[in-house]
Structure 1
C-alpha cells in the first residue's frame, strides 16, 4: 500500500505535463481504492487471478508505452508479452541487501521513493512538481458518522495498526503517549488490532476513542484528513496521511524510512521517531518478532518527543 501511494505523483505529473496522453494504471484488486477516484487517471485495470487473462485484456488496449513502477517477475512477464517500449523502476536490490545485511548505511539510496519513481519518466521530459501524494476519498462522510461529539474537534489520529509486529509500539508505550497528550485521541486500525485498541481505551478512559475494526480504509483516511495531527507507524494509512499535509509523528522500529526511501513526503511538519541500534534495521518490511528477542527499537523510543510534538 505504501509503495503504491507514492506512485501517485508520477501519474499526476504525466497527465498534467502531457495533457493529451492517456494514463492507465494496473494493480491488485486489494489496492484499487488508492486510484479509484484519481482524476489524472484515464482507466484503472485490476490483476486477474490468472496473469494470462490480465495480459490478454491489456493487449486489447494497444498501449504505446509501459512504465513499470514495480519491477518484479509479474511485470517482467507482462512487458515481454506486450513487446512494446518500456521504462522500469530500478530497485537497487543489491545495495539495499548489503545495507540491511551488513548495516552499510552509506549504501542506502539517498533519494525518496517518489524521486526514484519519477526517474522512469524523465526521458519524456516529465519533471517532479514537488507536490504531495494524492488520495481522493470515495465516500461523502461526516465526522458525526464515526465520532462522538467529544472527539470531533482538534483530535489526534493515532494509527496503531501495522502488518508486522516489529512495526508496532507495545501497548504500554501507546498508553503512556495517550495519557500525556492534551487533545482527544482517535485510534485507527483494522480488526487485527481491535483487541489492542480496547485494552488501550480501557487504560486511558474517555480521552481515547477507538474506530479500529469498525471503519474501512476509505473511512479511516477520511478521519485522518480531518485530524489535527497524526501519529503512526510504518504502515499504509500513515503514509496516506501525507496527502493531507497533517503534522505527522512517524514511529519506526525494525524498519527505517531511509532504507525504503519513504520519509514523510512534501508535508510541512513531521517527526521521525526511532532509536539508533547496531541491529537496526532488521528487515525491509517488518517481522513477526524481534530476531534478538529484546525489541529495543520500539521499547527504547522515548515517549516524550512524540508527546511534545503533538502538544506543541
Structure 2
C-alpha cells in the first residue's frame, strides 16, 4: 500500500514556513509517498504552490468534521508540527502512528519570567521540527526553508517604478504591537537612507491593517518611498520582496520568508528574542549576510513568546530604544558585503 503522510501546522505564517524543511526532506526520503498538509483556510496560500505537497487540507470550524474527512485518507503517519489540544484530538482519533516535536514551552516561560536561558543554543525551530521525523529515517539536507511563488502571483515591479535588485523592502507591520518598530523610527531611518544611499528606493510591505502607518510614512517623502501595503496578497508581496536587494523586518512571517528565499535581511526584535529559535537561518545554497538588531541588555525582554498588544511596562524601550543609525549601519554593512 502506498504510504501517506499528514503534516499539521495551522498557523502562523512564519511557523508554517518553518515546516518546509520537514516537507522537502520527507519527500526525499519517501519519493513515492503522498504528502498532505493540514492548515487554516487563510494560510492555504503559503503551501498551495509547494511541489512537495500533494494535497492541502483545510481546518473546518467543526473539528470533528475535519477528523471525519481525515479518516477517509487512511494515513500511514501523522506529523504534528503544531502540537495543541486540537492536534492531540486529531492524532488520537485517527488511530495511526504519530510524531511530534518539543515546543520547549517550559524553557521559554523560564526565560520570560526568570530571565534564565535553558533553551538550546543556536538551535533553530526548523531543526527542532526535523527531530520529529528522525524516527522515520528523515535526515536534514541542510537546504533550509522553502517558499514557492505561483506564476499568477508574480508582480511586475516596473509598473511600480522599481528596478529588480535595486530597492530596500521594509516590512513595517506585524500581528502584535510589540513586534512593530514605531513609525517615527522608520521615518528617521529612511531619511538616513535618502541622505547616504539616495539611489535606493524603499518599498513598504504589509497588509490592510498597516495602510494607515504606511500612508503616514509616505507623507514624509516624495518618490523615494513606495507604499504597497494592503494592495497585494501575501504571495504577491513575497514576489515584490524577492526582487529587492535587502529586506528589513521585525520578527514576523515575511522575515522568515525572506530568509527562505535567500534574501539578505536586517531582523529587528522587540519583545521576542532570537533565542526562541527564530533567528535568520539560511540553507547551505542560499547563505547571505544578515544582521539582528535588538536591545540586548534590556532586562524586561523577552516579555512574551508571541508578541503583545501593548508594552506591559509602558515604556516600549525594546523598540523605542533602537536608534535609526543602527538600522542604517546594518543595511550599509550588508550592501558593502554584497558588493565585495
Q: What range is the shorter-chain TM-score in?
A: over 0.9
When normalised by structure 2's length, the TM-score is 0.88
Match of 2:39 in 1: 27
Q: Judge conservation of contact 1:139–1:219 (CA < 8 Å) in 2.
A: no
Aligned equivalent of 2:264, options 247, 251, 256: 247
Match of 1:279 in 2: 300
Cα distance, 1:9–1:153 mapped onto 2, change above 3 Å = closer
Quote the offset at 1:152 in angstroms: 5.0
Q: Judge conservation of contact 2:155–2:236 (CA < 8 Å) in 1.
A: no
Distance 2:179 2:54 in 1: 35
Q: Is 1:228 aligned to 2:249, yes or no?
A: no
Match of 1:263 in 2: 279
Unaligned runs of 5+ in 1: none
Distance 1:22 1:153 in 2: 37
Match of 1:124 in 2: 136
Distance 2:266 2:45 in 1: 24
Distance 1:143 1:232 in 2: 22
Distance 2:26 2:147 in 1: 17
Q: Is 1:51 aligned to 2:63, yes or no?
A: yes
Q: Judge conservation of contact 1:160–1:168 (CA < 8 Å) in 2.
A: yes
Q: Is 1:185 aligned to 2:202, yes or no?
A: yes
Distance 1:244 1:76 in 2: 32
Quote the offset at 1:99 in angstroms: 1.3
Match of 1:94 in 2: 106
Distance 1:215 1:145 in 2: 15
Distance 2:82 2:292 in 1: 26
Match of 1:67 in 2: 79
Q: Is 1:195 aligned to 2:216, yes or no?
A: no
Secondary structure in 2 matching 1:204: coil
Deviations 1:248-284 (A, max 9, x none): 000011111212x111111421101001200011111
Q: Is 1:79 aligned to 2:91, yes or no?
A: yes
Aligned equivalent of 1:291, options 312, 316, 323: 312
Secondary structure in 2 matching 1:77: helix
Instruction: Please report the RMSD computed on the Cα atoms of aligned residues, expressed in angstroms.
Output: 1.4
Distance 2:317 2:93 in 1: 47
Q: Judge conservation of contact 1:132–1:245 (CA < 8 Å) in 2.
A: no
Secondary structure in 2 matching 1:98: helix
Secondary structure in 1 matching 2:248: strand
Q: Judge conservation of contact 2:157–2:240 (CA < 8 Å) in 1.
A: no
Secondary structure in 1 matching 2:134: helix
When normalised by structure 1's length, the TM-score is 0.95
Deviations 1:52-110 (A, max 9, x none): 111111111111111111110000000110111111121122121111111112x1233
Unaligned runs of 5+ in 2: 1-12
Spell out structure 1 runs of 4+ moving beyond 4 A: none
Match of 2:7 in 1: none
Quote the offset at 1:17 in angstroms: 2.1
Quote the offset at 1:146 in angstroms: 5.2
